[in-house]
């Protein structure tokens, strides 16, 4: 694990109206970690959950330490990220989408990059250091007003250290001057600049409030003092602000890296508090997290020990071992990293009993949560002739339910899943073949606020009756259930030992000979489970499955009899297939080939599973066999009452099942075109079709394209092609093309993206 970034960069999101907080930390990929990783923390149960890697392993961002990144002050799922480039992005940690906030290239040139960024709490103003790409020289401080797209520029005047921005976005504090410790305070509204020399009270380690700063005054006569400087400054000679914290002697520096991310507008600083942390090789000094009032009472609250040993190997060099932790927006939680006196680094969160320091009347009163969850990303990743899986995301933890039916009156209702999650999945079973269904999704948060989506549609596949010698597709029928519950063609571990290989099931159907496959959907990313094909298996361990996909913590691995073969990342909604094709076993993710086995299959093959964690799921398993026949029909759902609802543009889901055998003259429908990942020279483009089809891309720097990828003739519904040899920081135009088995071609509209800076 990389250390927590710094005292003024938030590792915790704004969770004031939620029972769940989001936390990002970076797990060093060079040591086997996943890179920047998202965690959730339930404030009611104290349960921590690893939500998986924030970026695909092919992304340059997956190698970042996270130092300098920070959560938005007001947008709970948005993380500010940058990578020694010209662009600052807001990245949605739930939907995994980038939003470009600024690009300094047109203003300052392509030979510069941004560093040490900060943003106002209303996300309107951003500021940071400008550096040269030639020699990494720090050139000065810039600010940017996002709504007016206006840049401000303040070149360095001495030894430049950094610049910071207050909560309101009005005031810059630039640490500059002959010894890098003078403070230039700049009013972005008027352009007025005021300088406080280091010797007169210029701040060292600091954090910003709304119209003030709190930080170290290195020349104060009181030992290791922390003071407040309010803007506009009353004077530039000592005292420039009152002392709010100091130590008993010069050998102790308890506060050091000050964090005031709990700052509140409209509340006088004297009614607020800040926290600091430090450590020393002398264990009798410092080594604690302390909080203090921002008045002259000198009241101090010791929150927790840092628990780091400077002489232990864990955590890197001396500076890296320093905690440099940060407060969350409520001031009730403090996060830092510690080596615990050993060779590793762990992250800790301490609950701050702030009412012992500041009266509860002066603490900001949390407002009642009356805001329903925000629903996004509604999609249908899997459709068969008798079932469909609906998935969506919410910006806060909430429950899961779907209304559905052949009209907008619906009439059908999936079982309510009361588990509070942000990534939702519900399977609708017993639907009729070749039928258009309307549906809308519903999620209610812990405060009882209900959100209902608009109307969407999907069409189930035609019923397929295979000839005796031909393949067909059917939902897996589970048997030999051990500590699991089957719901349709999905499994969930509901009993047994959490973390033990004591749960699973097998399929009634088998692949008796020839070609066939099993396909399933990843409905969540955290738990450990296996699904694959075996020539019989009476046990419940993953190592007994002959050809398996292993899923856990956002990573998918190919395992054969427990032996690792290959891995990749995965996300909720990804579809995996283990197929026997012309005598070879092949593994696919979203239609893309992952690995081809060197081991020949032994028939008959059944679907085999192992689930280790309670509530672990294996969803929407379908099997294609030469022997399986699908017969009969399922009655359509009759709506119970005619009601109406607002509608949004209808979407058609994708399918993992075989094509209908009826005459086909309709080209595939193309949807969900995304650039999923990329670097300065590569890009991976994904899209979906409503029926199996091939994959090809045209691309170029103009709308005439000029280059095509090789045709991928695999007939899939989830498409992914990687383009290489691109130019960094360049706009490219693309269009995707897919042709179904009947020869019907669909060409999508043009799409544009820009490669990363490098």
List pLDDT tens digits, range 361-415: 444 444 567 889 999 888 887 777 788 889 888 888 889 999 999 999 998 899 8
Side by side, the strands of the sheet bearing 70-71 are 70-71, 78-81, 87-92, 98-103
Encoding tokens for residue 584? Answer: 């070879």
Residues 617 and 739 in one domain: no
Quote the CA–CA distance of 455 and 681 in Å, as a whole number: 40
- Overall number of domains in the chain: 2
Quote the CA–CA distance of 739 and 713 in Å, as a whole number: 9
Q: Is 65 exposed, middle or buried (0-12, 13-18, 19+ CB in 10 A)?
A: middle
Three-class HEC string of 194-254: EEECHHHCCEEEEEECCCEEEEEECCCCCCCEEEEEECCCCCCCCCCCCEEECCCCCCCCC
Q: Look at residue 621 and tell me if it is in a domain.
A: yes
Tell me how crowded residue 178 is: count the other CB atoms within 10 A of its CB.
Answer: 11
Residues 261 and 8: beta-carbon distance below 8 Å: yes
Residues 700 and 615 in one domain: no
Q: Look at residue 502 and tell me if it is in a domain.
A: yes
Residues 612 and 541: beta-carbon distance below 8 Å: no
Between 131 and 569, the more confident residue is: 131
Q: Who's near 35: CB < 8 A, 6+ residues apart?
A: 26, 27, 29, 53, 54, 55, 57, 61, 62, 63, 64
Which of these, 73, 651, 78, lies nearest to 395 by C-alpha position? Answer: 78
Residues forming beta bridges with residue 274, ordered by sequence position: 292
Angle, CA of 617, 623 and 624, to the nearest 5°: 160
Residues 145 and 136: beta-carbon distance below 8 Å: no
What's the CATH number where 494 sits? 2.60.120.200
| Dihedrals phi, psi of 61, to nearest 5 degrees | -70, -20
| Dihedrals phi, psi of 524, to nearest 5 degrees | -155, 165
Dihedral over Cα of 446, 447, 448, 453: its sign = negative
Residue 295 has pLDDT above 50, yes or no: yes
Q: Look at residue 482 and tell me if it is in a domain.
A: yes
* Whole-number pLDDT of residue 658: 34
pLDDT confidence band for 598 (50 / 70 / 90): very high
Evaluate if pTM is beyond 0.75: no
| Average pLDDT of the residues of the chain | 86
Count H helices and E strands in the chain, helices first. Answer: 2, 55
* Whole-number pLDDT of residue 531: 96
Residues 575 and 486 in one domain: yes
Q: Are strands 387-405 and 436-444 parallel, antiparallel or unpaired?
A: antiparallel
Residues 677 and 576 in one domain: no
Q: Look at residue 84 and tell me if it is in a domain.
A: no
Residue 681 has pLDDT above 70, yes or no: yes
Coil, helix or strand for 606? strand
List pLDDT tens digits, range 86-126: 999 999 998 889 999 999 999 999 999 999 999 999 999 99
Q: Look at residue 244 and tell me if it is in a domain.
A: no
Residues 569 and 676 in one domain: no
* Whole-number pLDDT of residue 5: 86
* Whole-number pLDDT of residue 689: 84
Coil, helix or strand for 320? helix
Quote the CA–CA distance of 513 and 519 in Å, as a whole number: 17
Quote the CA–CA distance of 319 and 373 in Å, as a whole number: 41
Residues 581 and 696 in one domain: no
Quote the CA–CA distance of 471 and 758 in Å, as a whole number: 47
Cα–Cα distances in Å, from 631 out to 75, 91, 436, 488? 51, 47, 20, 17
Q: Which domain holds residue 689?
A: 670-754
Exposure letters 441-476 (e unless 16+ CB within 10 A, then b): bbbbbbeebebbbebbbbbbbbbbebeeeebbbbbb
Encoding tokens for residue 626? Answer: 């030469």
Coil, helix or strand for 314? coil
Tell me how crowded residue 295 is: count the other CB atoms within 10 A of its CB.
Answer: 17
Encoding tokens for residue 206? Answer: 């600091």
Encoding tokens for residue 396? Answer: 């806060």
Give the end of a domain, one of 625, 660, 690.
625
Quote the CA–CA distance of 260 and 66 in Å, as a whole number: 20
Question: CA gyration radius for the chain?
Answer: 29
Residues 488 and 614 in one domain: yes
* Whole-number pLDDT of residue 371: 87
Least confident residue range of 20-34, 60-74, 410-424, 469-483: 469-483
Provide the strand spans (E) within 445-574: 450-452, 456-459, 472-475, 478-482, 484-487, 490-493, 504-511, 516-521, 529-534, 547-552, 555-560, 563-569
User: What percent of the chain has a predicted confidence (pLDDT) above 90?
Assistant: 54
Cα–Cα distances in Å, from 15 out to 19, 181, 332? 7, 35, 11
* Whole-number pLDDT of residue 284: 55
Residues 463 and 385: beta-carbon distance below 8 Å: yes
| Dihedrals phi, psi of 158, to nearest 5 degrees | -165, -135
Give the end of a domain, one of 572, 599, 625.
625
Q: Look at residue 213 and tell me if it is in a domain.
A: no
Residue with tokens 């990329």: 678
Coil, helix or strand for 601? coil
Q: Look at residue 383 and tell me if it is in a domain.
A: no
Cα–Cα distances in Å, from 615 out to 414, 417, 482, 493, 611? 18, 12, 14, 5, 9
Residues 523 and 646: beta-carbon distance below 8 Å: no
Give the end of a domain, one of 625, 655, 684.
625
Residue 630 has pLDDT above 50, yes or no: no
Query: Which helix (H) or strand (E) element contains residue 143?
Result: strand 138-145
List pLDDT tens digits, range 317-372: 888 888 999 999 999 999 999 999 899 999 999 999 999 988 754 444 445 678 89
Residues 533 and 674 in one domain: no
Quote the CA–CA distance of 605 and 628 in Å, as a whole number: 13
Residues 735 and 620 in one domain: no
Residues forming beta bridges with residue 413, ordered by sequence position: 403
Query: Which helix (H) or strand (E) element contains residue 105?
Result: helix 105-108
Quote the CA–CA distance of 436 and 690 in Å, as a whole number: 13
Residues 584 and 492 in one domain: yes
Residues 604 and 683 in one domain: no
Least confident residue range of 23-32, 41-50, 433-442, 619-628: 619-628
Residues 504 and 617 in one domain: yes
Q: Look at residue 735 and tell me if it is in a domain.
A: yes
What's the CATH number where 733 sits? 2.60.40.10
Q: Are strands 617-625 and 490-493 parallel, antiparallel or unpaired?
A: antiparallel
Residue 670 has pLDDT above 90, yes or no: no
List alpha helices for 543-654, DSSP H.
Answer: none
* Whole-number pLDDT of residue 450: 93
């Amino acid at each position: 694990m990389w250390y927590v970034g710094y005292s003024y960069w938030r590792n915790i999101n704004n969770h004031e109206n939620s029972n769940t907080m989001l936390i990002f930390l970076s797990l060093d990929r060079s040591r086997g970690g996943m890179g920047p990783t998202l965690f959730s923390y339930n404030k009611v149960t104290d349960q921590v959950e690893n939500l998986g890697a924030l970026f695909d392993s092919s992304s340059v961002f997956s190698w970042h330490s996270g130092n300098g990144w920070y959560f938005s002050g007001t947008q709970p799922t948005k993380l500010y990220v940058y990578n020694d480039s010209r662009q600052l992005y807001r990245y949605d940690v739930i939907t995994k989408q980038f939003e470009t906030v600024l690009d300094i290239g047109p203003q300052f040139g392509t030979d510069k990059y941004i560093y040490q960024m900060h943003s106002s709490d209303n996300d309107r103003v951003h500021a940071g250091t400008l550096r040269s790409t030639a020699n990494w020289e720090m050139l000065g401080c810039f600010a940017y007003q996002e709504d007016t797209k206006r840049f401000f520029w303040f070149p360095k005047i001495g030894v430049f250290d950094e610049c910071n921005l207050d909560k309101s976005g009005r005031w810059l504090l630039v640490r500059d001057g002959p010894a890098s410790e003078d403070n230039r305070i700049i009013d972005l509204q008027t352009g007025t600049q005021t300088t406080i020399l280091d010797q007169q009270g210029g701040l060292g380690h600091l954090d910003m409030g709304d119209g003030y700063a709190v930080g170290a005054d290195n020349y104060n006569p009181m030992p290791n003092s922390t003071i407040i400087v309010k803007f506009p400054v009353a004077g530039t000679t000592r005292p420039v602000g009152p002392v709010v914290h100091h130590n008993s002697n010069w050998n102790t520096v308890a506060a050091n890296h000050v964090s005031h991310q709990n700052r509140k507008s409209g509340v006088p600083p004297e009614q607020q508090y800040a926290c600091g942390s430090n450590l020393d090789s002398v264990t009798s000094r410092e080594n604690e997290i302390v909080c203090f009032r921002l008045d002259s009472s000198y009241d101090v609250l010791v929150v927790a020990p840092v628990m780091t040993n400077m002489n232990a190997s864990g955590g890197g060099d001396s500076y890296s071992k320093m905690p440099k932790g940060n407060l969350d927006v409520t001031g009730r939680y403090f996060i830092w990293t510690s080596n615990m006196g050993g060779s590793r680094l762990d992250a800790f969160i301490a609950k701050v009993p702030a009412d012992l320091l500041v009266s509860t009347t002066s603490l900001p009163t949390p407002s009642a949560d009356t805001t329903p969850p925000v629903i996004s990303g509604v999609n249908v990743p899997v459709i068969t002739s008798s079932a469909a899986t609906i998935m969506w995301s919410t910006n806060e933890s909430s429950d899961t339910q779907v209304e559905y039916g052949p009209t907008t009156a619906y009439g059908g209702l999936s079982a309510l899943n009361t588990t509070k999650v942000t990534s939702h999945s519900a399977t609708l079973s017993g639907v009729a073949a070749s039928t258009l269904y309307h549906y809308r999704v519903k999620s209610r948060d812990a405060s009882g606020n209900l959100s209902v989506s608009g109307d969407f549609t999907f069409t189930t596949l035609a019923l397929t009756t295979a000839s005796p010698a031909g393949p067909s597709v059917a939902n897996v029928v589970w048997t030999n259930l051990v500590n699991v519950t089957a719901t349709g063609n999905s499994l969930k571990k509901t009993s047994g030992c959490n973390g033990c290989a004591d749960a699973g099931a097998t399929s009634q159907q088998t692949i008796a000979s020839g070609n066939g496959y099993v396909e399933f959907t990843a409905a969540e990313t955290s738990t450990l489970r296996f699904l694959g094909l075996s020539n019989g298996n009476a046990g419940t361990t993953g190592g007994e499955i002959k050809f398996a996909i292993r899923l856990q913590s956002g990573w998918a691995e190919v395992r054969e009899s427990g032996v690792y073969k290959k891995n990749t990342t995965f996300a909720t909604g990804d579809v995996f297939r283990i197929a026997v094709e012309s005598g070879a076993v092949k593994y696919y993710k979203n239609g893309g080939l992952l690995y081809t086995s060197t081991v020949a299959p032994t028939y008959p093959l059944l679907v085999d599973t192992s689930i280790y964690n309670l509530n672990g799921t294996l969803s929407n398993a379908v099997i294609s066999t030469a022997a399986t026949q699908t017969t009969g029909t399922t009655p359509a759902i009759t709506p119970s009452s005619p009601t109406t609802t607002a509608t949004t543009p209808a979407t058609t889901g994708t399918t993992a099942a075989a094509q209908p055998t009826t005459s086909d003259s309709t080209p595939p429908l193309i949807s969900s075109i995304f650039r999923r990942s990329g670097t300065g020279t590569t890009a991976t483009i994904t899209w979906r079709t409503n029926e199996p089809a091939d994959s090809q891309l045209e691309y170029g720097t103009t709308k005439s394209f000029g280059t095509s990828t090789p045709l991928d003739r695999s007939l899939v519904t989830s498409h992914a092609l990687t383009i290489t040899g691109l130019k960094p920081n360049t706009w490219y135009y693309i269009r995707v093309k897919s042709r179904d088995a009947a020869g019907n071609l669909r060409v999508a509209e043009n799409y544009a993206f820009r490669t990363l800076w490098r």
